[in-house]
Structure 1
């Protein structure tokens, strides 16, 4: 009874949002012309778990019931809701936070619009630029005059970025991250010349100060942020130059009402060429140490990046190559104890001799260099050079992949396809004179048969992977196969997937057999019933003192489920 009450309340109180509403369609006659529509679904499934010769990894029986419904009236309003109920507990899925996140309250988002005018009410997120307002969610009000061809466009917002979070201390240990309530406003003004445009954006964010001695004792003080950004993009034929400059000022107020402020800059530029057979690009960006904005959840600073790319197309786009080169470095002001440098190289080749054949290859190399000097070690040195470069770390990752796919002619009754992929990876870590190399090899080859008239499919292949490092060598190899068949005009479908892998390392040998069987019956567009069976057999041994200790385990999973899909509409009858 309680479960039924819970489900009923969820449909009424689950998180809902009202999508962008076109005010030109607010006439009652237009609303009822499109009618009232309900779209949704209900799924229920029970799973039984039965292990042999091994400790159970989960409870023997599980079940869940999940559903969603979306009520829409015409083209201007939509109210979605969803729920899930299992023997693990009850939760409401909210679209903004993602799936399986329990929420105690609703989020409302209204976005009515009229031609180029758009209003944001409630909880929303906007992006002006990466250096001012960069997608941070806010609760409040915003207005946007959208970009269209040539002329002025822009947007403004005002609202709350963060709710106040009080400290949670248990046994003298802080259990959360306390914050002040953070509010702010932002604006963007731009002028478009077609593909060219100029934009100026501004953000002002501030923490609302509150008398809280516990926050002061934790050294959590209110902050204020002012950020400006100027962006220019001006295409000249096939050339597209761009330039962006930003400045951010962060002010902090401590318990003695003393205000400290710091100002930091960021710069981003690029030049692209787009031709019929050649694409080329170059970019340079620099974000000074300490730069941040209240309009972004996370920001990388103290970083300089230089990158270039070149793409070529030959033989009427049947052969394409692409190369990329990038360099990054940190510790731009030479004040940090650690300095990182990264170098990345990537090259790819794609060949399409025909519509039925594809060949591709990719090479990438990533090198990371770190130099660390403990801050106070210089106090222990006899001379000024003794503790320079006390820790040098280098990491080089190399990846090489090659693959192909070939398909038979589509006109034949039997369609065949053959595909393969080879990946080789090396990883070399070096700390001083210590080296820790490792390499890995992955290979797969498979063929698929499709019998068009009988709805019968068969596939088989081979997988291999090998890894070698300081801890030893490990290999895994095994075949796989899959088969599926449809009956009664696709109403009944049966499928089975089989994988048998053999694994070996310096101390163990094992074989893992996995079989996955599924039977589904779709009575009509709304009702589907299915049965799943999954079997895992693990037989292996461990070598100790030349004796093999064998142990085999079996795990089986039985799933029985039902799905219901709803798509119904109601229109006003014409007189």
Structure 2
């Protein structure tokens, strides 16, 4: 028995008891973890409080429902279906959850239970130290090590002060032998890696660096899948980031990354100097760079910024699953409030181009612009408007056309292809009425979308599509009676492939709380008409009813019905009726 003296009191520790509990807890964590991606975070600061709690807690719920269906709409549904489902969760020391679930229907049943985990992660925390053990992922830099799952250990050190540090080491990829009977799972070498990140933050600036290294184990596979172009790879990637306040309200941030990617580590190594041993270069090693920077300036209430990003063609690292590369971006941003902050305007414009080395069969340029305006003159009214435009310009470098062209001006239009897209929406919401007696709400939403393909300066027939939508809704609430009435109207116009169609119809519903406001019930009806090229294609009428009742706090009873009548041109009129009743209990 040991004693620890603090400023206020003497704490008595029984090491044999704590040790026994810790061993028991650790064993439970590893042996009874659920199958699907299990992860737990343990706060060692409160480990004494953890073991002072109840060791086991049981919770969960059960639900039962049945569906009755009848109709002649040809859906082939079962006339009667029942469902019984439940879940039970066993909680151990408020740290480990073991879920059990079951589902039973007249169509089949399913039962799941915890088994030994295929993925397990534990994240112990003590003050400013956080550990990562097992199957985890960490994010250091978007250009070096970013979100890649690994099996190993990691650590985050975030003490009070200016320095921050993170590190990881483990297996990034397990070995998989080639199996001709299973082509869906490709062969893979075992890949080990490690990474570290350090950052220094000061009031007027910050600086950081990330280092990542990974290498495949050539001996991890018995059969070498070289014929499948699966080669043992190696990679060293580094990035440097920083930020600086140049003058008041003017800040500059940026990051530069370098990746040395070896396509086959069995290829001859170049040189034997100290630098080459630290950063091995082989004949199959290629270097790639990535760069991004952002300049932001605030003047009074104006916020302006410019962002630049460039990533080399084929840029990649073994610390990320996927990379966008071979592009250059420039983005301009501006935002400002007006009229005593009642109006807010945000503007953005960007340009992107690819084929940086001019060696691809096609090159593209993209232009993106957007505008967002919000208007809130008072608490009753708020409106918003947004507009965005996307334009992609493609130049197809057809070698056949270039070789057979008689003049440099042949096929200029046919080699240029432009995709245009526009989106616009307007939303307005207005609340009025006496809040303690009646409440009124009116909402109007309009949207427009257009897409077109242009070859040269001509938009060909069939390559233009337009979509218009208008929806309005009015809601009246009688506050003392807990009754609400809703009415809405929706209209949609589509123009696709030189044909136009319209869908429109109203909706009406009422909702109320009855029997001392213990039961919530409502009924609604919707009617829609579809018109194609001035011909009525279909009419659909829906009638819905629903009710919900909660009793004894943990019991819930729900019921709903829907009747639908469909009249489709050229087909027989169909009717269908569906009723559902459900009960649920949670503990």
* 2:540–2:567 contact (8 Å) kept in structure 1: yes
Question: Quick one: distance in 1 between partners of 2:79 and 2:239?
Answer: 55
* 1:272 aligned residue (296, 299, 319): 296
Q: Match for residue 249 of structure 1?
A: 260
Is residue 161 from structure 1 mapped to residue 172 from structure 2 by the alignment?
yes
Q: Match for residue 577 of structure 2?
A: 556
Is residue 427 from structure 1 mapped to residue 451 from structure 2 by the alignment?
yes
Question: Quick one: distance in 2 between partners of 1:382 and 1:187?
Answer: 59
* 2:32–2:116 contact (8 Å) kept in structure 1: no
RMSD across aligned C-alpha pairs, in angstroms? 3.1
Is residue 365 from structure 1 mapped to residue 389 from structure 2 by the alignment?
yes
1:402 Cα deviation after fit:
1.5
Question: Quick one: distance in 1 between partners of 2:230 and 2:506?
Answer: 58
Is residue 109 from structure 1 mapped to residue 121 from structure 2 by the alignment?
yes
Question: For residues 322-366 of structure 1, what are the alpha-carbon distances to aligned partners after superposition, in whole Å with 9 as ceiling and x for unaligned?
Answer: 111111111111111121111111112111110110122112111
* 1:20 aligned residue (32, 38, 41): 41
Task: Indicate the SS of the match to 1:551.
Answer: coil
1:517 Cα deviation after fit:
2.8
State which drifts further: 342-351 or 524-533.
524-533
* 1:54–1:554 contact (8 Å) kept in structure 2: no
* 2:64–2:82 contact (8 Å) kept in structure 1: no
Is residue 218 from structure 1 mapped to residue 228 from structure 2 by the alignment?
yes
* 1:25–1:31 contact (8 Å) kept in structure 2: no
Q: Give the TM-score, by structure 1 length.
A: 0.84
Equivalenced residue count is: 536
Question: Quick one: distance in 1 between partners of 2:401 and 2:191?
Answer: 40
* 1:482–1:497 contact (8 Å) kept in structure 2: yes
Distance 1:540-1:122 versus aligned 2 partners, 3 A rule: same
* 1:450–1:456 contact (8 Å) kept in structure 2: yes
Distance 1:557-1:160 versus aligned 2 partners, 3 A rule: farther
Task: Indicate the SS of the match to 2:230.
Answer: coil
Q: Give the TM-score, by structure 2 length.
A: 0.83
State which drifts further: 382-391 or 476-485.
382-391
Distance 1:308-1:439 versus aligned 2 partners, 3 A rule: same
Question: Quick one: distance in 2 between partners of 1:204 and 1:280?
Answer: 38
1:534 Cα deviation after fit:
3.1
Question: Quick one: distance in 2 between partners of 1:178 and 1:375?
Answer: 36
Q: Which ranges of structure 2 fall in alignment gaps of 5 or more residues?
A: 1-30, 269-281
1:187 Cα deviation after fit:
0.7
Is residue 538 from structure 1 mapped to residue 548 from structure 2 by the alignment?
no
1:374 Cα deviation after fit:
3.4
* 2:178–2:223 contact (8 Å) kept in structure 1: no
* 1:208–1:222 contact (8 Å) kept in structure 2: yes
* 2:432 aligned residue (395, 404, 408): 408
Is residue 418 from structure 1 mapped to residue 470 from structure 2 by the alignment?
no
Question: For residues 482-522 of structure 1, what are the alpha-carbon distances to aligned partners after superposition, in whole Å with 9 as ceiling and x for unaligned?
Answer: 32222345432213343221111136510122344322221
Give matches, 1:29-428, under 5 Å.
Answer: 31-32=51-52, 37-56=57-76, 61=81, 63=83, 65-67=85-87, 69=89, 71=91, 73=93, 77-79=95-97, 81=99, 83-85=101-103, 87=107, 90=110, 105-146=117-158, 148=160, 150-167=161-178, 169=180, 174-194=183-203, 196-209=205-218, 210-211=220-221, 213=223, 215-235=225-245, 236-253=247-264, 260-274=284-298, 277-374=301-398, 378=402, 391-409=415-433, 411-428=435-452
Task: Indicate the SS of the match to 1:24.
Answer: helix
Task: Indicate the SS of the match to 2:376.
Answer: strand
1:34 Cα deviation after fit:
8.2
* 1:441 aligned residue (468, 488, 500): 468
Distance 1:91-1:151 versus aligned 2 partners, 3 A rule: farther
Task: Indicate the SS of the match to 1:317.
Answer: coil
Question: Quick one: distance in 1 between partners of 2:138 and 2:418?
Answer: 40
* 1:342–1:368 contact (8 Å) kept in structure 2: yes
Task: Indicate the SS of the match to 2:573.
Answer: strand
Q: Match for residue 518 of structure 2?
A: 491
Task: Indicate the SS of the match to 1:26.
Answer: helix
